[in-house]
Amino acid sequence: MMDYLVQYDKTNPLSIEKYAQRMIGKTFREILEEDELTPQGYAADEPGLYIVDGSKNYKRNKGNLGQLIEERFFHYSCNSEARADFPEAGVELKVTPYRKNSSGDLSAKERLILTMIDYYKVINESFEESHLWKKSKLILLVYYLYCKDIRSNLDYRIHYARLFTPPAQDVAIIKQDFEKIAAKVRAGKAHELSEADTMYLGAATKSATSKNRREQPCSPIKAKPRAFSFKSSYMTYVLNNYIVKGKATYQPIVTGHVDSFEEHVISLISKHRGQSIEDLCREYDVDAAKAPKNLMALLTYRMLGIVGNHAEEFVKANIVVKTIRIGKNNRIKESMSFPTFKFKELVEEEWEDSTFGNYLRETRFLFVVFKFDNNDVLRLRGCQFWNIPYNDLETDVKSVWEKTKSVILDGVRFTVVNGTRVNNLPKASENRVCHVRPHGRNAKDTYELPDGRQFPKQCFWLNNTYIYEQLNDELK
């Protein structure tokens, strides 16, 4: 039998990477079958399972694909220690899925979990000496293609295996994210952590059940267990720009050093405070007569120095630009809409992992505010970064989502009020934060209800009054 230890140098990252690239094009099952140390009957055909020792000792969770690679390809025992997986080389192994859509675009299927957050340790750690940085400064990324039609995860195929170190401009933002998370724990608000608090590095919930809680050092309120993770938006960017070569990159907002990315963005836009839409169009050579519907968003990117309508940092961080117009009566006319939901899919979800709940948990917004002056001229007021407060999400939004699910399951009903036909989905008057209403092209633009009826497409909206309430005073 070949001595597997001579096949790669465990002290050399490049040797580890070169050896890992032997996996490319193979399924996890093939790796098992080709391993001379694999006992007979090791692999199982049940979805998500493989057998440890040829008996009835099954491994079940999706993390076992990583463990399979550790034990059956690299031939070292899986451990949960603080050190890297290859300690002599300082390399951490991460096995992670990606998707390919019908147009060929690639995206990460999920966030990349790095290490659990120890609430008691993180408040005293510097980023440079943190357990997190030791686990993430040099990663061997093994990407496999996820296909929903594949029954067993052993039959997923590996397509990429590359070393990855976050580039300097990313490390600067990751450090800021780490410090934001640590500061929130120091403030006794570990229970209010949200992935939308930060840009590239998230605090992802990580427990067997949604009811798990653990103590935190600066508050008697127990918090959900969380792990440091690279967000799925960041991992998508990593895949397309650092792992797969030859992909087009987006233009960055920051090209040098800045102390704070968010403060830098705010300063770039604030320089134009008081300018009208017409002023901005002239400055950036935009033809106002042929203005697109997203004119204010287009001007926002121009103010940030971006020629197109995608900024590298926003793509990596899942930051969404939302432009807001305030009337001279100090009111926002329009509520804020989100993508339509499919009735039959929503009723199969639970709140803790719902599409809309996760969208708000994981998305940070850049509100760019314009206001009509007394002469009905629309002028820039400025901008702010915002993500939904934890309590608003877990009380008001949750109650609207739960009522929506209940109404759909019970059957959407109609009544006539003052000659108008209205349904019994949650209305803006019933909740301070959000509501549900149509968001299709017309009444014939529908999705199917669980009872088989066709019904106009609906979406969740944040109330215009709530959005106004969330704005900083200087923007109103």
- Please give the average per-residue pLDDT across 330-342, as a whole number: 95
Measured CA distances, 391 to 164, 353, 396 (Å): 37, 17, 8
Q: Please report the pLDDT score of residue 247 as a whole number.
A: 63
Please answer whether residues 443 and 437 qualify as being in contact, where contact means their C-beta atoms are separated by less than 8 angstroms. no
Token readout for 11 is: 């002290």
pLDDT digit string, tens, across residues 382-394: 999 999 999 999 9
By C-alpha distance, which of 95, 30, 48 is closest to 67? 95
For domain 4-243, give its CATH number from 3.40.50.10860, 3.40.50.720, 3.40.600.10, 3.40.50.11540. Answer: 3.40.600.10
Q: Does residue 258 have a pLDDT over 50?
A: yes
3-state secondary structure of 373: coil
Kindly indicate the confidence band of residue 39, based on its pLDDT and cuts at 50, 70 and 90.
low
Q: Please report the pLDDT score of residue 81 as a whole number.
A: 56
Q: Please report the pLDDT score of residue 38 as a whole number.
A: 57
Q: Does residue 52 have a pLDDT over 50?
A: no
Q: Does residue 205 have a pLDDT over 60?
A: yes
- More confident call, 166 vs 441: 166
By C-alpha distance, which of 406, 449, 452, 442 is closest to 425? 406
Q: Does residue 185 have a pLDDT over 60?
A: yes
d(CA 208, CA 191): 17
Where helices occur in 138-200 by DSSP H, the ranges are 168-186
List where CATH 3.40.600.10 sits in the chain. Answer: 4-243, 261-475
Mean pLDDT of the chain, nearest integer = 89
- More confident call, 244 vs 221: 221
Which range (57-61, 245-249, 294-298, 364-368) has the least confidence?
Answer: 57-61
Which range (126-130, 230-234, 238-242, 397-401) has the least confidence?
Answer: 238-242
341-377 in b/e burial notation, b at 16+ Cβ within 10 A? bebeebeebebeebebbebbbbbbbbbbbbbeeeeee
pTM, entire model = 0.84
Which residues make Cβ contacts (< 8 Å) with residue 15, sequence separation at least 6?
A: 8, 9
Please give the backbone phi and psi of residue 96, each rounded to the nearest 5 degrees, phi first.
-145, 145
For domain 261-475, give its CATH number from 3.40.600.10, 1.10.238.10, 3.30.2130.10, 3.40.640.10. Answer: 3.40.600.10
What stretch of H or E contains 226? Answer: strand 226-230
Token readout for 332 is: 């926002």
Q: Does residue 47 have a pLDDT over 70?
A: no
Please report how many Cα atoms fall inside a 13 Å half-sphere around the Cα of residue 471, on the Cβ side: 26
3-state secondary structure of 334: coil
Please answer whether residues 32 and 154 qualify as being in contact, where contact means their C-beta atoms are separated by less than 8 angstroms. yes
Q: Does residue 63 have a pLDDT over 90?
A: no
